């Protein structure tokens, strides 16, 4: 029986993880859950999965929860310290890191520092401070296990091979809802259109990141640290059907890929139960019925967020943290209908241009860059309004 902690249990990845727990009650037990403000969803999860401890980042939401479940023995913590306490719980066998955004950095790094085994869906901390997270994991004798479908595919295609034989790592991308749109059309894109991902059902922030293709940019940076791969070896390939989740090319010309229907339960369950594969029994992958898989090179002109991510990766230091924070602020403003779709990239560009990158030596360096970029990006948004 594995004791699981889920950071971000009320989100899309959190719900899929709990689906797997419910399907395999003899293998997994929920030790702890963490959410931001969703006390009602968390209450349902407590009543179904009986965790020992939970935390809500928002103290008011935690007070509401305590008032409603007085009869349960669950310990309810709150605030950033409560979240960290659950993340570092000494009885956990696995922490699924699935908070959205940079808010996941401090608790995820705390879990790694406490020697906990971490499966990472929350890509933003790797973007902000991938090097520090990996150094800490190595110090603890742990490796950070990928959950993102592309990184799980890379892991599955690279395992058992010599790292020096790898020529390229190719991350596939669906292209999102606007792949066939011109820049002029994207200029008029509504929030509703941007939230219509062609293949995946995910949280709002990552869905918008997929529409701008910043998601792929963040994943390139994540792959750089997860697989210790030089940026020049990391490429993007548009693959509209999201069946091939990523590919690894070797120097003898062999290309190994992982395929599957787009369902996050596959990579999540692999991370939860590695190396054994769980009998999830999804519908078979019927390539005969699918007929053809389509591929295109990425379009850096219509999707400049990809360029920005490569630029931040090359620049190094605190630049990726700046990129990430500016993106979070801009996406949030778009979700609130404060800016237009194409303003997202403008806000990020201006924030990066106005920033002075610093070396990344500590968590504090990353958090300072994050804070400064959030302030700058907000200023740009409000001067634009």
Ligand X SMILES: NC(=O)c1ccc[n+]([C@@H]2O[C@H](COP(=O)([O-])OP(=O)(O)OC[C@H]3O[C@@H](n4cnc5c(N)ncnc54)[C@H](OP(=O)(O)O)[C@@H]3O)[C@@H](O)[C@H]2O)c1
Min separation Cβ 254 and ligand X, Å: 27
Reading the block at residue 279, the tokens are: 């009998």
Q: Classify residue 70 by its DSSP letter.
A: T
Reading the block at residue 61, the tokens are: 């939401």
Which member of 31, 264, 306, 348 binds ligand X (CB under 6 A)?
A: 264
Min separation Cβ 183 and ligand X, Å: 25
Q: What radius of gyration do the chain's Cα atoms show?
A: 20
CA distance 261 to 239: 13
Which member of 57, 132, 271, 348 binds ligand X (CB under 6 A)?
A: 57
Strands of 38-89, DSSP E: 53-56, 75-78
The SS3 call for residue 140 is coil
Here's the x/- map for ligand X, 17-56, by CB under 6 A: it reads as -----------------xxxxx------------------
Reading the block at residue 253, the tokens are: 């010309």
Which member of 4, 5, 12, 129 binds ligand X (CB under 6 A)?
A: 12
Which member of 203, 231, 260, 357 binds ligand X (CB under 6 A)?
A: 203
Candidate segments 21-29, 198-206, 226-234, 375-383, binder of ligand X by CB under 6 A: 198-206
Site for ligand X (CB under 6 A): how many residues? 29
Residues 164-183 that bind ligand X (CB under 6 A): none
Reading the block at residue 317, the tokens are: 């230091």
Are the C-beta atoms of 216 and 235 separated by less than 8 Å?
A: no
Contact between 202 and ligand X per CB under 6 A: yes
Q: Tell me the residue number closest to ligand X, measured at CB.
A: 11
Contact between 223 and ligand X per CB under 6 A: no
Taking the alpha carbons at both ends of the chain, their separation in whole angstroms is: 53
Which member of 77, 144, 154, 206 binds ligand X (CB under 6 A)?
A: 206
The SS3 call for residue 168 is strand
Residues 107-126 that bind ligand X (CB under 6 A): 121-124
Contact between 11 and ligand X per CB under 6 A: yes
Are the C-beta atoms of 157 and 257 separated by less than 8 Å?
A: yes
- Rounded to 10 degrees, what is the CA torsion of 196, 223, 267, 96? -100
* Torsions phi, psi for 34 (to 5 deg): -135, 135
Here's the x/- map for ligand X, 131-170, by CB under 6 A: it reads as -----------------x----------------------
Q: Which residues bind ligand X (CB under 6 A)?
A: 8-14, 34-38, 57, 83, 98-100, 103, 121-124, 148, 200, 202-203, 205-206, 264
């Amino acid at each position: 029986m594995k004791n699981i902690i889920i950071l971000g249990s009320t989100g899309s990845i959190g719900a899929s993880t709990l689906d797997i727990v419910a399907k395999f009650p003899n293998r997994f037990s929920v030790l702890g859950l963490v959410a931001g403000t969703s006390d009602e969803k968390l209450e349902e999860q407590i009543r179904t999965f009986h965790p020992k401890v939970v935390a809500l980042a928002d103290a008011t939401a935690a007070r509401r929860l305590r008032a409603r479940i007085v009869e349960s023995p669950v310990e309810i913590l709150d605030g950033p310290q409560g979240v960290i306490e659950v993340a570092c719980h000494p009885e956990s066998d696995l922490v699924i890191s699935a908070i959205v955004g940079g808010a996941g950095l401090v608790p995820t790094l705390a879990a790694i520092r406490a020697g906990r085994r971490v499966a990472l869906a929350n890509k933003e901390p790797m973007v902000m401070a991938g090097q520090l997270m990996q150094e800490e994991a190595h110090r603890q004798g742990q490796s950070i296990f990928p959950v993102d479908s592309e990184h799980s595919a890379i892991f599955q295609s690279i395992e058992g091979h010599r790292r020096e034989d790898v020529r390229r790592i190719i991350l596939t991308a669906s292209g999102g809802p606007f792949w066939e749109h011109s820049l002029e059309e994207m200029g008029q894109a509504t929030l509703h259109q941007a939230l219509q991902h062609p293949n995946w059902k995910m949280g709002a922030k990552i869905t918008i990141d997929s529409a701008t293709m910043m998601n792929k940019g963040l994943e390139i940076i994540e792959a750089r640290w997860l697989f210790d791969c030089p940026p020049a070896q990391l490429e993007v390939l548009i693959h509209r059907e999201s069946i091939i989740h990523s590919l690894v090319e070797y120097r003898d010309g062999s290309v190994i890929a992982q395929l599957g229907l787009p369902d996050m339960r596959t990579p999540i369950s692999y991370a939860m139960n590695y190396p054994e594969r769980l009998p999830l029994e999804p519908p078979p992958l019927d390539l005969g019925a699918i007929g053809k898989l389509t591929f295109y090179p990425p379009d850096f002109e219509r999707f400049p967020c990809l360029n920005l991510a490569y630029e931040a990766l090359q620049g190094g230091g605190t630049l990726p943290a700046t990129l990430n924070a500016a993106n979070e602020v801009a996406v949030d403003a778009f979700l609130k209908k404060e800016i237009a779709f194409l303003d997202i990239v403008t806000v990020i560009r201006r924030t990066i241009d106005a920033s002075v990158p610093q070396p990344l030596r500590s968590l504090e360096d990353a958090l300072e860059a994050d804070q400064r970029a959030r302030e700058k990006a907000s200023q740009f948004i409000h001067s634009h309004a």
